[in-house]
A = this chain, B = another copy of it.
Amino acid sequence: MRIKVIVPLLTSKYNSAIQEELTPYVAPDVSVTVVNLASGSPSIESRYDEIYSTPEIVSKIVKSEEEGYDGVFVSCVSDPAISVARELVDIPIVGGFEPAALSAGMISKCWGIITITQSCARLIRDLATLAGIHQQLACIRSMNQPIDELHQVPGKLEEVLLAQIKKMVSEDRVTAIVLGCTGMMGMAKYLSKEMEAIGTPIQVIDPSAVALGYLQMMIRAGLTHSRLEYPKLNLRERVISCIK
């Protein structure tokens, strides 16, 4: 089984770290290939970014199907390009939000998510509304600090996330947490352990781990998106005109 992971960043410098990070989440018969984007927004933190990064993600998904990949994970919690690509290809495609949200719903009936910025928070609220699970999503909290900055000071990201989770447990009464950015890799285990240590054993869901699990499940079960939901597009009839 071969899975393509598309990272919507304009740099390849994280690709091998991501590949290494994701390996424990796939079965021995699964190979994972990580690619990044060459065009689009530097990262997806707004509806504007989403629009401008979508075309290349879509074409990379189409190419993955042509190359015989069994499924694609777009490594971003705003699920960019997912619904567009489902009109074009038959293989299953997942983003970071929907699998994490649906799994959270099985673990907890009152959970929260931590995002980077207020703008991401709005994107995620809309995704939750579309997924039909917004009533279980008790709160969306933003760190309001760029994740790059947080990564630069050792221990800073851990500290900020832990503080947010404590607040969500006491103020919003959540019983599980979804990490709202695939750039928070490696944090889930640390945070669960810390919360357990203070007597508040909460599940912390890493979106990449769950997305890859979901994708493997769909591939082994022979499932994909419904053609009655996403009628297949005849691209010959939808020629896109370009200026210049």
Residues of A at the B interface (CB closer than 8 Å) are 10, 24-30, 38-42, 46-52, 54-56, 58, 81, 83-84, 87-88, 94, 98-99, 102-103, 105-110, 117-119, 122, 125-126, 129-133, 135-136, 169, 175-176, 188-189, 192, 200-203, 205-206, 209-210, 212-214, 216-218, 220-231, 233, 238-243
Cβ contacts under 8 Å, A203 to chain B: 223-226
A54–B54 alpha-carbon span in the complex (Å): 11
Cβ contacts under 8 Å, A212 to chain B: 217, 220
Scoring A26, A201, A241 by chain B CB atoms within 10 A of each residue's CB, the highest score goes to A241
A98–B102 alpha-carbon span in the complex (Å): 10
Cβ contacts under 8 Å, A47 to chain B: 83-84, 87
Using A28-B27, A28-B29, A106-B98 as known contacts, say yes or no to A201 and B228 having CB atoms under 8 A apart. Answer: yes
Partner of A220, one of B24, B51, B240: B24
A185–B30 alpha-carbon span in the complex (Å): 25
Partner of A122, one of B117, B169, B229, B240: B229
Contact call A87/B238, Cβ cutoff below 8 A: no
Using A107-B223, A220-B209, A241-B10 as known contacts, say yes or no to A233 and B136 having CB atoms under 8 A apart. Answer: no
